[in-house]
Amino acid sequence: MPTKIEKDVITGTDTTGHEWDGIRELNTPLPKWWVYVYLATVVWGLGMFVLYPSIPLGTTYFHGLLGYSSRADAMAGVEEMRAMHGKQMQQIGALPFAEIQKNHDLLEVALTAGRITFAENCQPCHGPNGEGRIGYPALDTDVWRWGGTLAAIQQTITHGIRSGDPETRTSQMPSFGADGVLKPDQIQQVADYVMTLYGKAKPGVDTAAGQKIFAENCAACHGDKGQGNRDVGAPPLASRVHLYGDARETVVAQVTKPRHGVMPNWNQRLTPATIKAVALYVHSLGGGE
């Protein structure tokens, strides 16, 4: 059938000339607003294409007239965060502990930095949560050898224990057995007495002789009741928390030929601010004084 374009009488619109069973299709023009919006999006698209990075060119790409880079944008964000973090760490380094503890946001930053520092540097010896293990003291109890105040913890971390740092904490338990100060049976006796201090003594054992040996040889460092002495890092013996263990043979071994733990000094590896942050973290583990 030949197509015939004519005006529709009712709407006044041209027909397309298509006709099916007497039904004719109108050629209704697109609404003007739609056409303008469409053209505007085309112009917008071309504009973006020219202004921003668009066409890949082998190993490089067309950078766009504005030279914008989302990577640079992200890096600027990272730099901004770094600068903020740096400023907060600077404040942590400058302020006394009491001021940091009063500033909620700053304390949060310090504890986070401390936790990360602990995981990276301290965990291999003191355990993931500071729970300690044989020879490496627990840091989450209220039993301290050198001290559990923030200042004491800071001092320990900064200069270490028997570390070789000029200001290291240091002390030495005498080698009672190896140097012949005490005879083997005296060492057995004092070990029996020491076990009464933490409630693990065998019942019925006479500890009078051991108690006397303790008063004469051990009390100067460990205290007359075994309460310990922080001036010389002598652990409390009247405690269920032990550095080397609570077994009789462990006590005998320590008195015969003592072990001495070494804690590295961190002043060469961590900044003073980071040391303060990790001290705050250790203090928060449960035993802080």
CB of 73 to ligand HEC, least distance (A): 36
Helix (H) or strand (E) holding 50: helix 32-51
Measured at the CA of 178, the angle between CA 172 and CA 183, to 5 degrees, comes to: 115
How far is the C-alpha of 205 from the C-alpha of 188, rounded, in Å?
11
Question: Using N-to-C axis directions, what is the helix angle for 184-197 and 208-217, rounded to 10°?
Answer: 90
- Are 267 and 276 in contact by the 8 Å Cβ rule? The answer is no
CB of 119 to ligand HEC, least distance (A): 10
- Are 153 and 164 in contact by the 8 Å Cβ rule? The answer is no
Burial class from Cβ neighbours inside 10 Å (0-12, 13-18, 19+) for residue 271 reads: middle
CB of 148 to ligand HEC, least distance (A): 7
CB of 233 to ligand HEC, least distance (A): 5
Q: Report the residue number, 25 or 120, with the smaller CB distance to ligand HEC.
A: 120
Binding site for ligand HEC (CB under 6 A): 121-122, 124-126, 135-137, 139, 144-147, 153, 156-157, 161, 171, 173-174, 176, 190, 194, 217-218, 220-222, 232-235, 237, 242-244, 251, 254-255, 259-264, 266, 278, 282
Q: Report the residue number, 24 or 230, with the smaller CB distance to ligand HEC.
A: 230
Look up residue 236 and give its DSSP letter: P
Q: Report the residue number, 69 or 129, with the smaller CB distance to ligand HEC.
A: 129
Q: Report the residue number, 93 or 174, with the smaller CB distance to ligand HEC.
A: 174
How far is the C-alpha of 27 from the C-alpha of 8, rounded, in Å?
10
CB of 153 to ligand HEC, least distance (A): 5
Q: Report the residue number, 153 or 273, with the smaller CB distance to ligand HEC.
A: 153
- Residue 74 CB neighbours (<10 A): 10
CB of 254 to ligand HEC, least distance (A): 4
Q: Report the residue number, 88 or 233, with the smaller CB distance to ligand HEC.
A: 233
- Are 148 and 284 in contact by the 8 Å Cβ rule? The answer is no
CB of 142 to ligand HEC, least distance (A): 10
Q: Which amino acid is at 162?
A: R
Q: Report the residue number, 14 or 246, with the smaller CB distance to ligand HEC.
A: 246
